Every structure is written in structure tokens, then in C-alpha cells.
């Protein structure tokens, strides 16, 4: 039965929203409430809904922090709220992991730095410092090593500094970049020729989850393929490349609602402007035949 005007107050809208686990469920059960929330900009009443949590821009630093504090272990965080966990990894908000208790993990790396007297440095990670030292300038030295090249150029040997104990490999990846940036900010010149984050010469078993975490370090497929080839190859075998790099423009048919699209269209003066700035809302409006209503032909917006 239709409710009288003024029935849906803020409190009643809040109570109705809390009974639903997604915006689509709210639309189906209480479409009037859904539209009322949007119109009054009470979008925070959607925060508990899973599909909202997966939308772009939802996971701010503070929301990730609040979510991370709910868990005791990092693996628990990853399992129960993967969208927030991936956001933390992607933005390298390493401090949000500080409270987690450590559990056993055989995959460990330490961070080291070579410092030259001419203010050049190299930062890396390894599971075997003795072997890595030899690869740079010992009996196993590589001609491609930027450290070895700088030794030949300057005729000086660098000072080796061990920056961390052996830590979980993914913590080490984040720490390596953090240390590199600290040196650069302090005026040092880097000898690192490629992006930090390689895990050294020992192979890691690239499970689907680890491939997913690794893919978050790269903006496109070509960078992923060139800079983390083994993870890329494993991702190809699992058939996960499209999932990692094709960003869906619409989540759970979010824009498949006429009132929502109408409100969004009011932000633009023309159809082309609407299309350029919010393709998903424009596309749903076009498919459903709403564009003529939003942008009447031969009539300027605002008349």
C-alpha cells in the first residue's frame, strides 16, 4: 500500500535500508526509500551493503583502517574483506598491517641497501644475502648488475646495510619501495633500473591469490608481463588476466534506475557531455530510452 507523503523520514529510511544487503535488494523492496536516500544525499545509509563496498572510491584510508582493526590476522583480513585488503596493498598503506599477529610463513626476504660514497644507492630484497652479494660484485657477479657497473665506473666498493630481518615476502615488497623512497627524498641517487617489487631469484608458487595481489602493483597488462613474468604466466594459465585488468564500468546494475540516472544527467548540459563523464549512466539511459526525456531534442537544458 502506498505510504502518505512525508511518511519516509530519515529514521524510517535508515531502518528499511538496514534490512537489505545490497542496493538492488533495496530497490526491489523499497524503491521509494532508495530514491529518497539518493535525493537527500543520505548515501552513507548504503555503507553496510556489499555491492557499495566494491564500488570505486569507497575504500578510503580511514575506512580501510577501521576495517583492518576488526581482524587479528592479515590472512583473516584478506579472506573476509578482500576489496579493502587489495586497496591497502595497492596504496601501500603498510602501517595498517602493524597490529596483525604473525603466523608461520616459509617465504621470507630481507631488505638490503648498497651505499656508494658518491651518493648513489641500490635497494633490493633477497632470501640469501651471501649469494646476492656474490651476484652483484663477488665471484658470481653479473655484467647486468647496476651495482657492478657502478663499481667499475667509480672504482669504489659500496657499503652494505641490512635494513630488515627476514620478513614475509609481500611485506618485504612494500618495505623495499618505502626504503627506496626514503633514500630518494633524502637526496640520494638510485641505481635501481626497474620498479622495486621483484622477489629475488628463488621461485614462489604463484597461486591465484598471489597472482591477484601481484597484479595490483601494475597499471596495465604489459607492465605486469614485463616486470613480473612468472606471475603473469601463472595468471594466464588460471585465465585471470581479464579479471585483473578489465575494469567493469557498472557494478550490480547500479545505474539501471531511471531516477538515479535522471539526477546524474542534471550535472551535464548535453548528451555528449553526459556520455563523456559517466558512460555507464549514459549507456543505461540510452538502452532504456530515457535520454529523450533527460535531454529533449530542440530544447536547451534549463529552459
Cα angle: 45, vertex 49, 52; to 5 degrees:
90
DSSP string, 18-58: HT-SSHHHHHHH-HHHHHHHHHTT-GGGGTT-HHHHTSTT-
How far is Cα 130 from Cα 244, in angstroms, rounded to an integer? 36
pLDDT in tens, 246-274: 543 334 466 778 888 888 888 888 888 88
CB 265 within 8 A of CB 295: yes
pLDDT in tens, 139-178: 555 566 788 889 889 999 999 999 988 777 767 777 888 8
Torsion of CA 146, 149, 155, 160, to 10 degrees: 20
pLDDT in tens, 96-126: 888 876 543 446 778 899 999 999 999 988 7
Q: Specify which of 51-55, 56-60, 190-194 reaches the highest per-range mean pLDDT.
A: 190-194
CB 24 within 8 A of CB 253: yes
In angstroms, the Cα distances linking 264 to 18, 267, 281, 302 are 25, 6, 8, 15
Amino acid at each position: 500500500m502506498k505510504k502518505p507523503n512525508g511518511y519516509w523520514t530519515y529514521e524510517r529510511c535508515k531502518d528499511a535500508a538496514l534490512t537489505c544487503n545490497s542496493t538492488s535488494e533495496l530497490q526491489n523492496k523499497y524503491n521509494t526509500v532508495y530514491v529518497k536516500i539518493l535525493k537527500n544525499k543520505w548515501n552513507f545509509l548504503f555503507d553496510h551493503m556489499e555491492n557499495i563496498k566494491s564500488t570505486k572510491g569507497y575504500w578510503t584510508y580511514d575506512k580501510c583502517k577501521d576495517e583492518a582493526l576488526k581482524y587479528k590476522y592479515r590472512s583473516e583480513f584478506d579472506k573476509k574483506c578482500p576489496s579493502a585488503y587489495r586497496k591497502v596493498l595497492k596504496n601501500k598503506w603498510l602501517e595498517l598491517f602493524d597490529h596483525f599477529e604473525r603466523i608461520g610463513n616459509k617465504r621470507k626476504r630481507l631488505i638490503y641497501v648498497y651505499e656508494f660514497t658518491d651518493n648513489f644507492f641500490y635497494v633490493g630484497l633477497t632470501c640469501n644475502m651471501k649469494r646476492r652479494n656474490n651476484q652483484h660484485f663477488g665471484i658470481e657477479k653479473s655484467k647486468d648488475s647496476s651495482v657492478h657497473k657502478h663499481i667499475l665506473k667509480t672504482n669504489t666498493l659500496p657499503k652494505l646495510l641490512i635494513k630488515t630481518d627476514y620478513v614475509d615476502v609481500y611485506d618485504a615488497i612494500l618495505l623495499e619501495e618505502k626504503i627506496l623512497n626514503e633514500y630518494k627524498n633524502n637526496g640520494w641517487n638510485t641505481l635501481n633500473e626497474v620498479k622495486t617489487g621483484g622477489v629475488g631469484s628463488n621461485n614462489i608458487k604463484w597461486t591465484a591469490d598471489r597472482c591477484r595481489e601481484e597484479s595490483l602493483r601494475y597499471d596495465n597488462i604489459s607492465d605486469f608481463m614485463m616486470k613480473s613474468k612468472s606471475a603473469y604466466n601463472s595468471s594466464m594459465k588460471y585465465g585471470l588476466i581479464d579479471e585483473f585488468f578489465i575494469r567493469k564500468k557498472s557494478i550490480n546494475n547500479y545505474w539501471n534506475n531511471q531516477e538515479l540516472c535522471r539526477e546524474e544527467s542534471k550535472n551535464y548540459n548535453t548528451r555528449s557531455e553526459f556520455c563523456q563523464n559517466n558512460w555507464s549512466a549514459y549507456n543505461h539511459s540510452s538502452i532504456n530510452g530515457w535520454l529523450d526525456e533527460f535531454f529533449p531534442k530542440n530544447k536547451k537544458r534549463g529552459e
